[in-house]
Chains A and B, each alone.
Chain A
Amino acid sequence: MYGLVALGYHITWATSRTMNFSQGAAVMAGAVVAYAVFVALGWPLPVAIAVTLAALACFGALVERVAVRPFFLRASPAWLLATIAVGIIAENVAQLTFGKDARAFPSPLMQKPIMVGSAGFYAQELLVPAVGLVLMGLVQLFYHRTSYGKQLKAVAWNPEAAGLMGINIPRAVMASYALSALLAGVAGILLAPLLNVSPQMGTIIGLKAFAVAIIGGLTSAPGIIVAGLGYGLVESFTAGYISTRAREIVGFGLVILVLVARPWGLLGEKPSRRV
Protein backbone atom coordinates (compact mmCIF):
# COMPACT_ATOMS: atom_id res chain seq x y z
CA MET A 1 0.00 0.00 0.00
CA TYR A 2 2.94 2.31 0.56
CA GLY A 3 4.04 1.36 -2.90
CA LEU A 4 0.85 2.79 -4.36
CA VAL A 5 1.29 6.17 -2.71
CA ALA A 6 5.00 6.11 -3.42
CA LEU A 7 4.25 5.56 -7.10
CA GLY A 8 2.66 9.01 -7.01
CA TYR A 9 5.98 10.54 -5.98
CA HIS A 10 7.61 8.69 -8.84
CA ILE A 11 5.14 10.03 -11.38
CA THR A 12 5.60 13.69 -10.58
CA TRP A 13 9.32 13.25 -10.09
CA ALA A 14 9.61 11.54 -13.46
CA THR A 15 7.86 14.44 -15.16
CA SER A 16 8.97 17.53 -13.40
CA ARG A 17 11.73 16.65 -10.93
CA THR A 18 9.41 17.90 -8.22
CA MET A 19 7.32 16.01 -5.75
CA ASN A 20 4.06 16.48 -4.03
CA PHE A 21 4.84 16.46 -0.34
CA SER A 22 1.14 16.61 0.33
CA GLN A 23 0.67 13.05 -0.97
CA GLY A 24 -0.25 12.08 2.58
CA ALA A 25 -2.99 14.67 2.56
CA ALA A 26 -4.20 13.26 -0.75
CA VAL A 27 -4.50 9.80 0.79
CA MET A 28 -6.45 11.30 3.63
CA ALA A 29 -8.62 13.26 1.21
CA GLY A 30 -9.36 10.06 -0.70
CA ALA A 31 -10.54 8.33 2.45
CA VAL A 32 -12.49 11.33 3.70
CA VAL A 33 -14.26 12.04 0.42
CA ALA A 34 -15.08 8.36 -0.04
CA TYR A 35 -16.46 8.30 3.48
CA ALA A 36 -18.53 11.40 2.92
CA VAL A 37 -20.01 10.17 -0.35
CA PHE A 38 -20.40 6.49 0.42
CA VAL A 39 -21.22 6.40 4.13
CA ALA A 40 -22.65 9.81 4.88
CA LEU A 41 -24.58 10.37 1.63
CA GLY A 42 -25.20 6.68 1.03
CA TRP A 43 -24.40 6.69 -2.69
CA PRO A 44 -23.60 3.35 -4.34
CA LEU A 45 -19.99 2.26 -4.09
CA PRO A 46 -18.97 2.56 -7.81
CA VAL A 47 -20.36 6.10 -7.94
CA ALA A 48 -18.62 6.95 -4.71
CA ILE A 49 -15.32 5.69 -6.05
CA ALA A 50 -15.73 7.64 -9.28
CA VAL A 51 -16.58 10.84 -7.43
CA THR A 52 -13.64 10.37 -5.09
CA LEU A 53 -11.17 9.81 -7.88
CA ALA A 54 -12.44 12.81 -9.80
CA ALA A 55 -12.14 14.95 -6.69
CA LEU A 56 -8.59 13.73 -6.10
CA ALA A 57 -7.51 14.43 -9.66
CA CYS A 58 -8.76 17.98 -9.14
CA PHE A 59 -6.86 18.16 -5.86
CA GLY A 60 -3.65 17.10 -7.60
CA ALA A 61 -4.15 19.65 -10.35
CA LEU A 62 -4.81 22.31 -7.73
CA VAL A 63 -1.64 21.48 -5.83
CA GLU A 64 0.32 21.78 -9.04
CA ARG A 65 -1.26 25.09 -9.92
CA VAL A 66 -0.86 26.63 -6.48
CA ALA A 67 2.32 25.16 -5.11
CA VAL A 68 4.45 23.87 -7.94
CA ARG A 69 3.95 25.83 -11.13
CA PRO A 70 5.10 29.16 -9.73
CA PHE A 71 8.38 27.54 -8.73
CA PHE A 72 8.89 24.98 -11.49
CA LEU A 73 12.21 25.52 -13.26
CA ARG A 74 13.33 27.81 -10.51
CA ALA A 75 16.21 26.09 -8.78
CA SER A 76 14.85 26.35 -5.30
CA PRO A 77 13.28 24.05 -2.81
CA ALA A 78 10.29 26.38 -2.71
CA TRP A 79 7.97 23.80 -4.26
CA LEU A 80 8.90 21.40 -1.51
CA LEU A 81 7.78 23.81 1.19
CA ALA A 82 4.80 25.01 -0.80
CA THR A 83 3.42 21.50 -1.21
CA ILE A 84 3.95 20.88 2.49
CA ALA A 85 1.99 24.06 3.14
CA VAL A 86 -0.87 22.85 0.96
CA GLY A 87 -0.84 19.55 2.82
CA ILE A 88 -1.04 21.32 6.16
CA ILE A 89 -3.95 23.43 4.96
CA ALA A 90 -5.77 20.40 3.53
CA GLU A 91 -5.40 18.57 6.82
CA ASN A 92 -6.78 21.49 8.76
CA VAL A 93 -9.70 21.93 6.37
CA ALA A 94 -10.55 18.26 6.74
CA GLN A 95 -10.36 18.64 10.48
CA LEU A 96 -12.78 21.53 10.43
CA THR A 97 -15.32 19.90 8.14
CA PHE A 98 -14.95 16.26 9.08
CA GLY A 99 -14.12 16.59 12.75
CA LYS A 100 -11.13 15.29 14.61
CA ASP A 101 -12.48 11.88 15.43
CA ALA A 102 -11.68 8.75 13.50
CA ARG A 103 -14.60 6.89 11.95
CA ALA A 104 -14.90 3.32 10.76
CA PHE A 105 -15.45 2.65 7.09
CA PRO A 106 -17.49 -0.48 6.31
CA SER A 107 -16.36 -2.78 3.54
CA PRO A 108 -17.79 -6.06 2.27
CA LEU A 109 -14.27 -7.45 2.20
CA MET A 110 -13.82 -6.87 5.90
CA GLN A 111 -16.68 -9.03 7.13
CA LYS A 112 -14.80 -12.10 8.20
CA PRO A 113 -11.13 -13.00 8.14
CA ILE A 114 -9.74 -15.71 5.89
CA MET A 115 -7.83 -18.15 8.03
CA VAL A 116 -4.52 -19.64 6.88
CA GLY A 117 -3.23 -21.83 9.67
CA SER A 118 -3.39 -19.70 12.79
CA ALA A 119 -2.93 -16.39 11.00
CA GLY A 120 -6.01 -14.58 9.80
CA PHE A 121 -6.31 -11.73 7.33
CA TYR A 122 -9.03 -9.91 5.47
CA ALA A 123 -9.61 -10.02 1.75
CA GLN A 124 -9.24 -6.25 1.78
CA GLU A 125 -5.63 -6.65 2.82
CA LEU A 126 -4.95 -8.71 -0.27
CA LEU A 127 -6.72 -6.21 -2.48
CA VAL A 128 -4.24 -3.47 -1.65
CA PRO A 129 -1.06 -5.07 -3.05
CA ALA A 130 -3.03 -6.53 -5.95
CA VAL A 131 -4.34 -3.14 -7.01
CA GLY A 132 -0.87 -1.73 -6.44
CA LEU A 133 0.73 -4.17 -8.85
CA VAL A 134 -1.94 -3.65 -11.50
CA LEU A 135 -1.63 0.12 -11.31
CA MET A 136 2.15 -0.09 -11.47
CA GLY A 137 1.80 -2.17 -14.62
CA LEU A 138 -0.54 0.41 -16.10
CA VAL A 139 1.78 3.27 -15.23
CA GLN A 140 4.70 1.47 -16.85
CA LEU A 141 2.66 0.78 -19.96
CA PHE A 142 1.59 4.40 -20.04
CA TYR A 143 5.16 5.65 -19.92
CA HIS A 144 6.67 3.20 -22.36
CA ARG A 145 3.88 2.56 -24.84
CA THR A 146 1.81 5.69 -25.22
CA SER A 147 2.97 8.86 -26.87
CA TYR A 148 1.61 10.99 -24.04
CA GLY A 149 3.67 8.99 -21.57
CA LYS A 150 6.74 9.53 -23.68
CA GLN A 151 6.00 13.22 -23.77
CA LEU A 152 5.98 13.30 -19.99
CA LYS A 153 9.34 11.59 -19.91
CA ALA A 154 10.72 14.08 -22.38
CA VAL A 155 9.62 16.91 -20.09
CA ALA A 156 11.56 15.33 -17.27
CA TRP A 157 14.72 15.02 -19.29
CA ASN A 158 14.86 18.49 -20.74
CA PRO A 159 11.89 20.80 -20.21
CA GLU A 160 13.23 23.43 -22.55
CA ALA A 161 13.71 21.08 -25.48
CA ALA A 162 10.39 19.36 -24.78
CA GLY A 163 8.70 22.76 -24.85
CA LEU A 164 10.29 23.53 -28.20
CA MET A 165 8.99 20.24 -29.56
CA GLY A 166 5.48 21.46 -28.92
CA ILE A 167 4.76 19.72 -25.65
CA ASN A 168 2.59 21.76 -23.37
CA ILE A 169 4.76 21.56 -20.28
CA PRO A 170 2.46 23.11 -17.71
CA ARG A 171 -0.29 20.77 -18.83
CA ALA A 172 2.01 17.76 -18.74
CA VAL A 173 3.14 18.57 -15.23
CA MET A 174 -0.40 19.21 -14.13
CA ALA A 175 -1.50 15.90 -15.60
CA SER A 176 1.22 14.11 -13.70
CA TYR A 177 0.13 15.76 -10.47
CA ALA A 178 -3.49 14.82 -11.10
CA LEU A 179 -2.46 11.23 -11.81
CA SER A 180 -0.27 11.14 -8.75
CA ALA A 181 -3.03 12.41 -6.47
CA LEU A 182 -5.41 9.96 -8.10
CA LEU A 183 -3.19 7.06 -7.09
CA ALA A 184 -3.06 8.44 -3.57
CA GLY A 185 -6.84 8.60 -3.67
CA VAL A 186 -7.04 4.95 -4.68
CA ALA A 187 -4.80 4.15 -1.75
CA GLY A 188 -7.03 6.25 0.49
CA ILE A 189 -10.17 4.36 -0.55
CA LEU A 190 -8.47 0.99 -0.12
CA LEU A 191 -7.05 1.91 3.25
CA ALA A 192 -10.19 3.47 4.64
CA PRO A 193 -11.70 0.16 5.81
CA LEU A 194 -8.36 -1.07 7.21
CA LEU A 195 -7.49 1.98 9.22
CA ASN A 196 -10.09 4.35 10.48
CA VAL A 197 -10.84 7.49 8.55
CA SER A 198 -9.43 10.61 10.21
CA PRO A 199 -7.86 13.89 9.11
CA GLN A 200 -4.53 12.89 10.66
CA MET A 201 -4.29 9.54 8.92
CA GLY A 202 -2.39 10.89 5.92
CA THR A 203 0.74 12.49 7.29
CA ILE A 204 2.54 9.39 8.42
CA ILE A 205 1.45 7.40 5.37
CA GLY A 206 2.75 10.15 3.13
CA LEU A 207 6.09 10.16 4.91
CA LYS A 208 6.45 6.41 4.83
CA ALA A 209 5.51 6.33 1.18
CA PHE A 210 8.20 8.90 0.54
CA ALA A 211 10.64 6.73 2.42
CA VAL A 212 9.59 3.82 0.20
CA ALA A 213 9.98 5.91 -2.94
CA ILE A 214 13.50 6.81 -1.93
CA ILE A 215 14.45 3.27 -0.95
CA GLY A 216 13.13 1.89 -4.21
CA GLY A 217 14.56 4.69 -6.28
CA LEU A 218 12.52 7.69 -7.38
CA THR A 219 13.23 6.92 -11.00
CA SER A 220 12.06 3.32 -10.91
CA ALA A 221 8.43 2.25 -10.66
CA PRO A 222 9.22 -1.48 -10.16
CA GLY A 223 11.79 -0.54 -7.53
CA ILE A 224 9.15 1.41 -5.66
CA ILE A 225 6.63 -1.44 -5.67
CA VAL A 226 9.26 -3.92 -4.48
CA ALA A 227 10.41 -1.49 -1.79
CA GLY A 228 6.77 -0.91 -0.79
CA LEU A 229 6.18 -4.60 -0.21
CA GLY A 230 9.52 -4.99 1.55
CA TYR A 231 8.89 -2.01 3.77
CA GLY A 232 5.47 -3.34 4.73
CA LEU A 233 6.98 -6.72 5.66
CA VAL A 234 9.79 -5.17 7.71
CA GLU A 235 7.23 -3.04 9.52
CA SER A 236 4.95 -5.91 10.44
CA PHE A 237 7.90 -8.00 11.64
CA THR A 238 9.22 -5.19 13.83
CA ALA A 239 5.76 -4.49 15.13
CA GLY A 240 5.28 -8.19 15.83
CA TYR A 241 8.62 -8.93 17.45
CA ILE A 242 9.68 -5.66 19.06
CA SER A 243 6.97 -3.04 19.42
CA THR A 244 4.66 -0.84 17.40
CA ARG A 245 6.72 2.28 18.05
CA ALA A 246 9.96 0.58 17.10
CA ARG A 247 8.38 0.02 13.71
CA GLU A 248 8.77 3.66 12.79
CA ILE A 249 12.26 3.86 14.20
CA VAL A 250 13.41 0.83 12.21
CA GLY A 251 11.61 1.97 9.08
CA PHE A 252 13.12 5.43 8.96
CA GLY A 253 16.47 4.08 10.06
CA LEU A 254 16.33 1.91 6.96
CA VAL A 255 15.85 4.97 4.76
CA ILE A 256 18.93 6.62 6.18
CA LEU A 257 20.95 3.44 5.61
CA VAL A 258 19.79 3.16 2.01
CA LEU A 259 20.52 6.80 1.31
CA VAL A 260 24.00 6.50 2.72
CA ALA A 261 24.80 3.35 0.77
CA ARG A 262 22.86 3.95 -2.45
CA PRO A 263 21.51 7.50 -2.58
CA TRP A 264 19.70 6.84 -5.83
CA GLY A 265 17.70 3.93 -4.42
CA LEU A 266 17.76 0.17 -4.88
CA LEU A 267 16.61 0.08 -8.48
CA GLY A 268 16.92 3.73 -9.41
CA GLU A 269 19.27 5.13 -11.99
CA LYS A 270 22.48 6.58 -10.72
CA PRO A 271 22.34 10.23 -11.68
CA SER A 272 25.30 11.52 -13.63
CA ARG A 273 26.30 15.03 -12.91
CA ARG A 274 26.39 17.50 -15.69
CA VAL A 275 29.18 20.02 -15.63
Chain B
Amino acid sequence: MAEMKFEEALKKLEKIVAELENGDLALDEALEKYEEGIRLSKVCAKKLDAARKKVEILLKADDGSFELKPYDEKSDEDDKPQEIKKKR
Protein backbone atom coordinates (compact mmCIF):
# COMPACT_ATOMS: atom_id res chain seq x y z
CA MET B 1 0.00 0.00 0.00
CA ALA B 2 2.82 2.38 0.83
CA GLU B 3 4.14 1.89 -2.70
CA MET B 4 1.11 3.44 -4.37
CA LYS B 5 2.16 6.35 -6.52
CA PHE B 6 1.06 9.84 -5.60
CA GLU B 7 -1.09 10.44 -8.63
CA GLU B 8 -2.74 7.02 -8.22
CA ALA B 9 -3.69 7.84 -4.64
CA LEU B 10 -4.97 11.29 -5.58
CA LYS B 11 -7.04 9.93 -8.46
CA LYS B 12 -8.53 7.23 -6.22
CA LEU B 13 -9.35 9.82 -3.57
CA GLU B 14 -11.16 12.05 -6.06
CA LYS B 15 -13.05 9.06 -7.43
CA ILE B 16 -14.29 8.19 -3.93
CA VAL B 17 -15.41 11.78 -3.39
CA ALA B 18 -17.42 11.60 -6.61
CA GLU B 19 -19.02 8.30 -5.58
CA LEU B 20 -20.02 9.68 -2.19
CA GLU B 21 -21.45 12.84 -3.69
CA ASN B 22 -23.44 10.81 -6.15
CA GLY B 23 -25.51 9.70 -3.16
CA ASP B 24 -26.44 6.21 -4.27
CA LEU B 25 -24.52 4.37 -1.58
CA ALA B 26 -25.92 2.53 1.41
CA LEU B 27 -24.80 3.96 4.72
CA ASP B 28 -22.34 1.22 5.66
CA GLU B 29 -20.76 1.31 2.21
CA ALA B 30 -20.55 5.08 2.44
CA LEU B 31 -18.79 4.86 5.76
CA GLU B 32 -16.28 2.40 4.34
CA LYS B 33 -15.53 4.67 1.39
CA TYR B 34 -15.26 7.67 3.68
CA GLU B 35 -12.63 5.93 5.77
CA GLU B 36 -10.72 4.88 2.68
CA GLY B 37 -10.87 8.48 1.44
CA ILE B 38 -9.42 9.81 4.67
CA ARG B 39 -6.66 7.25 4.52
CA LEU B 40 -5.81 8.15 0.91
CA SER B 41 -5.67 11.85 1.70
CA LYS B 42 -3.10 11.08 4.38
CA VAL B 43 -1.03 9.04 1.93
CA CYS B 44 -1.10 11.92 -0.56
CA ALA B 45 -0.10 14.51 2.01
CA LYS B 46 2.75 12.33 3.18
CA LYS B 47 4.10 11.81 -0.35
CA LEU B 48 3.89 15.50 -1.12
CA ASP B 49 6.27 16.28 1.68
CA ALA B 50 8.79 13.62 0.75
CA ALA B 51 11.11 15.91 -1.20
CA ARG B 52 12.80 13.15 -3.13
CA LYS B 53 14.06 14.77 -6.32
CA LYS B 54 15.99 12.37 -8.48
CA VAL B 55 17.74 13.49 -11.66
CA GLU B 56 19.55 10.84 -13.66
CA ILE B 57 21.25 10.50 -17.01
CA LEU B 58 20.79 7.45 -19.25
CA LEU B 59 24.05 6.04 -20.51
CA LYS B 60 24.34 3.54 -23.30
CA ALA B 61 27.14 1.00 -23.32
CA ASP B 62 28.68 -0.44 -26.48
CA ASP B 63 26.97 -3.75 -25.91
CA GLY B 64 23.58 -2.02 -26.08
CA SER B 65 22.87 -2.12 -22.37
CA PHE B 66 21.71 0.87 -20.38
CA GLU B 67 22.78 2.37 -17.11
CA LEU B 68 21.36 5.17 -15.01
CA LYS B 69 23.79 7.53 -13.33
CA PRO B 70 23.02 10.51 -11.15
CA TYR B 71 23.19 13.73 -13.15
CA ASP B 72 25.39 16.47 -11.82
CA GLU B 73 23.77 19.78 -12.68
CA LYS B 74 26.58 21.97 -11.48
CA SER B 75 29.30 20.48 -13.64
CA ASP B 76 27.88 21.77 -16.93
CA GLU B 77 27.25 25.39 -16.11
CA ASP B 78 29.69 26.65 -18.71
CA ASP B 79 27.32 26.12 -21.61
CA LYS B 80 27.02 29.30 -23.60
CA PRO B 81 24.90 30.37 -26.56
CA GLN B 82 27.72 29.44 -28.92
CA GLU B 83 26.17 26.05 -29.25
CA ILE B 84 23.25 27.85 -30.79
CA LYS B 85 24.78 30.13 -33.41
CA LYS B 86 26.97 28.27 -35.86
CA LYS B 87 29.36 30.02 -38.18
CA ARG B 88 28.22 30.06 -41.79
Bound together = no
